Amino acid sequence: MKVLDPWQCVSLKTGEAAKKCENVYLAGRQGHVLSEDFKKFPNVAVLWLSDNQLTHLNNLDGNFRVKEVYVENNRLVTLQNSSLRRFKFLEVFSASNNCLRNLERLLSVLKAFRFLKKLDLFGNPVAEEPDYRLRVIYHLPQLQVLDRHEVTAIERIRAAQIVPFLDSAKKTAAPSAPLQPTTRATVPPPPSHQSRPPVYRRLSAYGFSKMSTIERECFQEAKKIHDKWRALEEKRLKKTVGMADTLSELGEAETPEERSAPVNRVVEEKRAKASITCDKLLSIWEQVEVRAWMKEQWRDKSEVTVDDVKALAAELGTDPLCRGKAPDASAAVSVSVDAEREGEEDTTIDAAEVIDHILAVPWRPLKPRVLKKR
């Protein structure tokens, strides 16, 4: 059994050299355990232990200053009862291609690291569990990069909507009854892929035959929640343009107070002129993404000119976010044209007002010949 010794990383075998050592590189040495001499290296900040045969991370209780740990391509089976709990300032933990299992136990350990920004568990059995990425993002909100992919705002929103319900369903689930011996009987064949309900067909990639009854019910309930929020969003959009007479999706009718509520005149005129429908508006997810992109383009500007608005509208016409949609050019720059007519040539407009206006105008699908050029 080979021992990984930190003394191999210093030229002078003295206590002073050990205290000054901040990086320990012991990768690719086929080691099985860590030496007890790590306690003599109290200021270690980065551990390189990749490409070994470690099954546990022990003998590191005295190295609480560690900020980065790289243990790819080892044989780690668990993080419980390990020295990893001592690393209160851990920022990077890369443990791809190991044997880590049981996401709940793993999260119970990782939740203690409030400064953890980068986490890599790719290639472990735990990464194959259902809703693995959403669960990790929800329980570790400080993460910026997970499995070498940046955590997006849309993923955080989805995790906040789905994961709490899945966790509560598991806690309240009743234990399954013990199996009773039965006589041999003819079992009907399972339903074909096409005969399953739509929610089953969409989730077939998760291995539906291996899912439990609780997991199936969770996915069905998540779909109902998604449909409900979609219907509420359509109701809000219809109310904005003054087109909502009835809401058949929710089985509700607007009250007289809602019908008589004042509507934004500018938005109503622009949308009525274009004869838009709810299908031509951006969804809430697309609005979040497009708004973030436009703010990034004008991150140094609080006031913009007419030329800035026209340039941004032209840029959106090339579909930089690959959504297959582009705003109506004349409607997008109309707010800047109105301002130019009322003021002087160097008239400036509030950037936030322009962004809200562009999100409210109709977005039309790009023609096939335009998409083909890309």
Q: Mind listing the pLDDT tens digit for each residue in 122-152?
A: 999 999 988 899 999 999 999 999 999 999 9
Class of residue 146 by CB neighbours under 10 A (exposed 0-12, middle 13-18, buried 19+): buried
pLDDT per position as a tens digit, 17-53: 888 898 999 888 888 899 888 888 988 999 999 999 9
Q: What is the pLDDT of residues 187-218, one digit of tens each?
A: 455 444 444 444 444 444 444 445 677 777 77
Q: Report which DSSP code applies to 235.
A: H
Helices (runs of H) and strands (runs of E) counted in the chain? 14, 15
Could you tell me which residues come within 8 angstroms of residue 334 by beta carbon, excluding any fewer than 6 positions away?
270, 357, 361
Specify burial of residue 18 (Cβ count, 10 A radius: 0-12, 13-18, 19+): buried
User: Can you tell me the distance from the alpha carbon of 354 to that of 169, in angstroms, rounded to the nearest whole number?
Assistant: 44
97 phi-psi bin (left φ>0, alpha ψ -120 to 50, beta other): left
- A 10 A CB-CB count for 141 gives 10
What one-letter code names the amino acid at 306? V
